[in-house]
Amino acid sequence: METTISIGEARRQLHETLRKDRPFDEKARTALELGRQYLGADGGLLIQIGQENNYWEPVITTDLAAESFSFSHEPDLRETYCRETINDNTPFVLHDAANQGWADDPAFEFCEFHTYLGVPLILNENAYGTVCFVAKEPRSEPFDNAATWFAEHLARLLERELERKHVETELTNQTNLATVLNRVLRHNLRNEISVIRGYTELMAEQLDDEPATETVLNHIDDLINLSQKARELEDVISASSERQCTEITSLVENIVDAIDDEYPSSSISVEYDGEIHISILQNFGRAIQELVENAVKHSGDSPRVTISIETVANGVEIRISDDGPGLPNHEAEVLIDGKETPLAHGTGLGLWLAYWIITNHDGSLDSTVTNDGTTMTISIPQRPAVGAQQQPTELTRSGDK
């Protein structure tokens, strides 16, 4: 066959195809068909291989390839030209196999392809397979550099699409798992623990060991609070991305007043020069509450906490400083790179909650530990307001996490 499409038109249609919101198989098949037309081949194939067991299978083919190339037995990688492509990790090209020394090779005897242009397909730095174009008849001239370049370009684009497909599948599986686990935490576990708490209180009335009873009830309450925070994490992920312009100092003052009532022995001060407006999501106050409560709970019998709020270049910075022993290293890992950490008395999950809310604002949460205590610094970028509400923000960072 001769080429029926120019390289410029093939490249234009290739990029247009891969930009569409279509299933991977559909986009890959269309891309292979474009390559077949430009290269003047009989068919294009995406081959998946397994070098350990010489596995070889065409997983996506052009229509003509699917009709023309059926095999009488299970193919073996050693009986294909693809072995050369994979072994050398470079394009392998034949335009007249029988006259190029391949007439007695198992690959030629198996499929009798005189023409072959194969490019390795790499996924996560491992050989996934090949993209190849084949024909039963030899070509009058070898493939030129432009043809080889186009086949490599097509393979690199399909690698990117294949990686996206794998990531989407993995995220879907993780989301489904997280949904099931969250339902267990929210409903089953919480309900069962509530029943246990009720019966524990009844049994406590028959016992004289008040300290032991109080310890058991405190641990039960910790589990109930943990399940509640798990529910709030789900709410953070599924929350609306619409922001509202908010006077942040009043929001923080109201949170502090509520915490003061719950922890009367604490001393919490809020410092700022004047009103500060910033566009935030509805759940932003929950992050502030979690961080202030964490500072109060872990800073001794008479904790002192200072919250300073100030405008910075294109945003707002909130610093929460306490006089406690400092944030444990295993919890600080959450702020460094989002690693999963041990959950000490539920504080780790609470820190996750604050971290996700803040990163949903495209902001950052950093900790500084000194001999005088810990300072948690929240940085939130300002977004241009449209009327009273913000344009929706893309939660890309939290989605990655």
CA distance 102 to 133: 17
Mean pLDDT of the residues in the chain: 81
If one looks up domain 7-168 in CATH, what number appears? Answer: 3.30.450.40
**Which pLDDT band holds residue 329 (cuts at 50, 70, 90)?**
low
Q: Indicate if the pLDDT at residue 145 is higher than 60.
A: yes
The residues spanned by each domain of the chain are 7-168, 240-400
Q: Indicate if the pLDDT at residue 152 is higher than 90.
A: yes
Give the residue with greater pLDDT, 302 vs 68.
302
Q: Indicate if the pLDDT at residue 346 is higher than 50.
A: no
- pTM of structure: 0.50
The string of pLDDT tens digits covering residues 359-374 is: 888 899 988 888 888 8
CATH architecture of 240-400: 2-Layer Sandwich (3.30)
What percent of the chain has pLDDT above 90?
Answer: 37
State which amino acid sits at residue 383.
R
Give the residue with greater pLDDT, 391 vs 255.
255
For residue 381, the surrounding DSSP H or E stretch is strand 373-381
Q: Indicate if the pLDDT at residue 387 is higher than 50.
A: no
Q: Indicate if the pLDDT at residue 66 is higher than 80.
A: no
Chain-centre distance for alpha carbon 333: 18
The string of pLDDT tens digits covering residues 165-190 is: 888 887 777 777 666 666 666 666 77
Q: Is 185 helix (H, G, I), strand (E, B) or coil?
A: helix
For residue 147, the surrounding DSSP H or E stretch is helix 145-183
Helical pair 284-297 and 347-360, crossing angle rounded to 10 deg: 150
The string of pLDDT tens digits covering residues 197-256 is: 888 888 877 777 677 778 888 888 877 777 776 666 666 655 556 788 899 999 999 999
pLDDT at res. 154: 95
What percent of the chain has pLDDT above 70?
Answer: 79
CA distance 91 to 151: 9
Residue 12 neighbours by CB distance under 10 Å: 13
The yes-or-no answer to whether 7-168 and 240-400 have a common fold is: no
CA distance 323 to 115: 75
CA distance 246 to 214: 41
Least confident segment among 22-36, 164-178, 333-347: 333-347
Give the residue with greater pLDDT, 187 vs 69.
187
Q: How buried is residue 393: exposed, middle or buried, by Cβ count under 10 Å (0-12/13-18/19+)?
A: middle
